[in-house]
Structure 1
Amino acid sequence: MNNERQPVLLTDEQMRTFITEGFLILKTDFPEDFHRSLLQQLTHVYENEGNPGNNLLPRIREVQMIFDHPVVTGALTSVLGPGYLMHTHRHGHFNASPKAGGWHKDSYWGYKRMRNHHPWWAMIMYFPQDTPVELGPTGIMPGTQNYESRVFEADEVTGEALASGGAGTFALIHYDIWHRSTANILGQERYMLKFEFMRTQAPSAPSWDHREAGWKRPAAFSTEIHEHDLLWEETWNWLCGRVGSLAGTQPADAGRAAELAARLEEASEPEALNAAYTLAGMGAPGVQALLAALERGSGHASRLATYGLSAAGAEAVGGLTAALGSPQPLTAEYAVFALGELRYLAAGSVPALNRLLEAGAPAEVRRAVAEALGLIGTPAAEAVAGLTRCLEDADVQVRFTAGLSLARLGAPAEAAVPQLAAALEDENRYVRGHAAEALHYIGTEQAKDTLIRFLMNSRWCPSTTPQSTFYP
């Protein structure tokens, strides 16, 4: 075992599989005694102290070795780019239940938000013991990362993938995929270490072992999943650094646009998504149809139209900026989301986004603004000014989203350091955690001094337990 090795980057074929199916099952090569020791520590901590929750990493320091392993760092770098962030929320799942858990998507630490098709987030689910099917590995429903609805019957599951394998097996999953725990019919201890990661840099070039420029389906394409060729191609192009790549790829046919717009209301979610992405490629007729659906404020059609507008390129920016003034909070929230996904193309919308903060827009809209400012990122001074305001917002979710956005901005966000220092004393654990991460990614002397002082004052001793308060 040598964790000094270079990251083992994913191949084009693995990235194609991740884009279509939403997950990969991979494995580290730690020696057997590493996992034996890790299991002993996990069992001791869980039996004597309970689940350490967010303190899993400092309590069992060897866990960090997992996330320094070149297969893990290579997988995360490939999907999230260099400089990805390990989120402050982490959890060690213990499963001894003979009953399977319910299908679900993980929340974003306390609130419901628009989910990203682009992989801004990923999770690692790591199994430190041999995990045969009978021990209850995590079950994953392939291809469901882009759906809000479950789109399959829970009692008639076909195509479920299981993260089963020897010790050191892990699932790399798109954050928003449907998954569950499966039945542990052996009744033996089964741990799964779940850690979450965020992209801090928008892609400018492929970050995996990239050899073939164009998109194509993976060779082992699953026939169980719905087909979304335009969505997948757009995601591939986005990961290669191209924003709004669908623009102009479809005939600009007004009649066809009207037909597709009707599907946003009437079709199943997979079919409606295909309609939205087709409209995204049709130029002005497609964008106008998507904007009309957005402005109707219907939750289903509006949300699906938003994904199309997120991929439609510069053509969509003017209409989305105008939609920020909608009296319907849902329309404004979705417009903010789409502008964030359009990144630098939406730089001219930053003043309008900041005005939403100044006008006291609903909390859901302010949360979306706090994220979009970090994704757009320019002009930096205006984005930082808005995010500084967000750090002082009455809504805790606006505050902790602002910290993540400032981490994405990095050194250009130095003006926010005083407000981040104040946020380190916030009552909410994620506001504090995200503020610390932002200071780390800003990385200037002022930011580092503030962060080091905070870390020294809050230093956590992994050896201190109720059974060992001071000695040995």
Structure 2
Amino acid sequence: MDNALRLLTDEQMRTFIAEGFLILNTDFSKTFHDQLLEKLNHVYQNEGNPGNNLLPRVRELQKVFDHPVVKGALTSVLGPDFMLHAHRHGHYNNSPKPGGWHKDSYWGYYRTRNLRPWWAMIMYFPQDTPLELGPTGIMPGTQYYGSRTFESDECAGEATAKGAAGTFALIHYDIWHRSTANTAGLDRYMLKFEFMRTQAPVAPTWDNRNPEWVTPAAFSTPILPHEALWRDTWNWMSGRSTPEDAGYAETDGDIVTLLEQLRGSSEEGRVRAADQLALLGGKTAAAGAVPALAQALEDPFEPVAINAAYGLARLGDAGVSALLQALRHESKQVARSAAYGLTAAGEQAVDGLTEALQSEREETVALAVFALGELQDKAASALPSLIRLLNGSSEAVRRVVVEALGTIGDPGIDSVVALAKSLKDEDVQVRFMTGLSLCKLGAKAEAALPELIEAMEDENRYVRAHAAEALYYIGTPQASAALLDFLRSSRWCPTTTPASTFYP
């Protein structure tokens, strides 16, 4: 097997951005998968589902994540320093009924989901999985919607991860998916692992040949157009993340006609009109597009609102003002769409978002913090205001603040001290999000070592895991020594089971 990383091509990356998934294949031998299945059957039949201990209990799986196709795909989407998350699960399915459509949670709590790919999942199939064996079903393009935009459980356009043993689905963490019906009456395993980006992109990490966004040549199924959003994501992943250097090509269009379509009865027509207005950018400023797009933020069909938000992000002060006003909207969906638009607006949104941190409305503050976090180094001036929010704010606000502190610019000692203190927060979700932020800061977080060492004794498994990961990413001699001490005392033996406690 060639060990060189198989990075994604430009076309594969474009498809991932637009559709939210790729179906890829490894080239392991039949013998490898036969042995893997034998081990899985033994574990599941004799011990039950190993849950988060899936990888140490079934050691052969490490070879999967060392495979150049798997590692290359993850490097392409999440960067070379991606993190394998402590949560993983082996799904066993022999049900003749399909599962329900859903997005995976973030371990039991709500958070504003990133449209940009900070998170991804791999769903690996260790056996031949034809359609009748119940592969995972995926609804293309839905990673950008908080609401379910399709009505029927049996939906046209559903993609499935069917294929030979070694097939895997690389998916945007937030895409709508489900298990399909296993009508074959045979065992089916799907091994799910989660991954997190630890560094914002500064350059393409896939096999990039063309720096500009090009719409994919073909889609697996018709999806709604989000060209402005797709281009923003492509540019962000390429290290270009401001409207000024976004490289948007002006498109031809009759603005009056587009505005009429934006108010029409066709959902698809409104989506396309909002997207075209977004692509026209500054040309629409003098044609009444700002109030029309601001009104479209309230469209009940979320894809329209998303495109309107990205259109307003490209319309200067007037567009940003409309988004900031919508951030305070009583509808969570409207306010969330506005927050996404503000993340694409660049530095011109920072002052207004910082002012929104003083709102008495919790949802407004949390969304403003989220948008500032997505603006990364551009939001460095907001750090003092964000740190102050850790004192006296609700759990929901504190959770998003500690996450933002891991992505905004050069954190400085004040941010690290604030995060170190948050490792002792009474809310467990604040604590484990703090650990993930310290992973992103790496060596800059060395001042938090005492608190991280203490956090490895936390009652929550994810707080402990994230603290250990943070020590790994800090990587200094003291951090590495503390991590080694922790691992030595918590060493896992993959062959010790209730049936084999000591021998052989």
Q: Could you state the TM-score of these two structures normalised by the residue count of structure 1?
A: 0.98
Is the 1:247–1:280 Cα contact (8 Å) retained in structure 2?
no
Residue identity opposite 2:439 in structure 1: A
**Residue 105 of structure 1 is aligned with which of 95, 103, 126?**
103
**Residue 387 of structure 1 is aligned with which of 419, 431, 441?**
419
Instruction: Give the structure 2 partner of residue 378 of structure 1.
Output: 410
Helix, strand or coil: the match of 1:288? helix
Offset of residue 192 of structure 1? 0.5
Residues in 2 aligned to 1:291 and 1:148: alpha-carbon distance in whole angstroms:
20
Instruction: Give the structure 1 partner of residue 457 of structure 2.
Output: 425
Residue identity opposite 2:393 in structure 1: A
Instruction: Give the structure 1 partner of residue 9 of structure 2.
Output: 11
Instruction: Give the structure 1 partner of residue 321 of structure 2.
Output: 288
Residues in 2 aligned to 1:380 and 1:243: alpha-carbon distance in whole angstroms:
23
1:321 aligns with 2:354: yes
Residue identity opposite 1:294 in structure 2: L
Helix, strand or coil: the match of 1:197? strand
Offset of residue 242 of structure 1? 1.3
* Aligned residue pair count: 469
**Residue 224 of structure 1 is aligned with which of 219, 222, 225?**
222
Deviation >6 Å, runs of 4+: 246-249
1:269 aligns with 2:298: no
**Residue 367 of structure 2 is aligned with which of 327, 334, 337?**
334
Residue identity opposite 1:122 in structure 2: A
Helix, strand or coil: the match of 1:122? strand
Aligned residue runs from structure 1 range 443-462, under 5 A = 443-462=475-494
Offset of residue 244 of structure 1? 2.5
Residues in 1 aligned to 2:244 and 2:455: alpha-carbon distance in whole angstroms:
40
Q: Deviations over 1:407-446 (max 9, x none)?
A: 0000010000100001000000000000000000000011
Instruction: Give the structure 2 partner of residue 119 of structure 1.
Output: 117
Residues in 2 aligned to 1:247 and 1:241: alpha-carbon distance in whole angstroms:
10
Offset of residue 356 of structure 1? 0.2
Residue identity opposite 2:410 in structure 1: T
Q: Deviations over 1:25-71 (max 9, x none)?
A: 00000011000000000000000000000000110111110000000
Residues in 2 aligned to 1:107 and 1:297: alpha-carbon distance in whole angstroms:
24
Helix, strand or coil: the match of 1:462? coil
1:81 aligns with 2:113: no
**Residue 308 of structure 1 is aligned with which of 317, 341, 359?**
341
Q: Deviations over 1:331-358 (max 9, x none)?
A: 0000000000000000110110000002
Aligned residue runs from structure 1 range 14-33, under 5 A = 14-33=12-31
Segments of structure 2 that go 5 or more residues without pairing to the other structure are 249-280
Residue identity opposite 1:455 in structure 2: L
Residues in 2 aligned to 1:29 and 1:218: alpha-carbon distance in whole angstroms:
26
How well do the aligned residues superpose, as a CA RMSD in angstroms?
Answer: 1.2
Is the 2:405–2:411 Cα contact (8 Å) retained in structure 1?
no
- Which deviates the most, 242-251 or 119-128? 242-251
Q: Could you state the TM-score of these two structures normalised by the residue count of structure 2?
A: 0.91
1:57 aligns with 2:55: yes
Offset of residue 253 of structure 1? 4.0
Residues in 1 aligned to 2:488 and 2:229: alpha-carbon distance in whole angstroms:
46
Helix, strand or coil: the match of 1:173? strand
Alpha carbons of structure 1 residues 260 and 64: separation in structure 2 relative to 1, 3 Å? same
1:411 aligns with 2:443: yes
Offset of residue 196 of structure 1? 0.2
Instruction: Give the structure 1 partner of residue 158 of structure 2.
Output: 160
Offset of residue 240 of structure 1? 0.1
- Which deviates the most, 233-242 or 370-379? 370-379
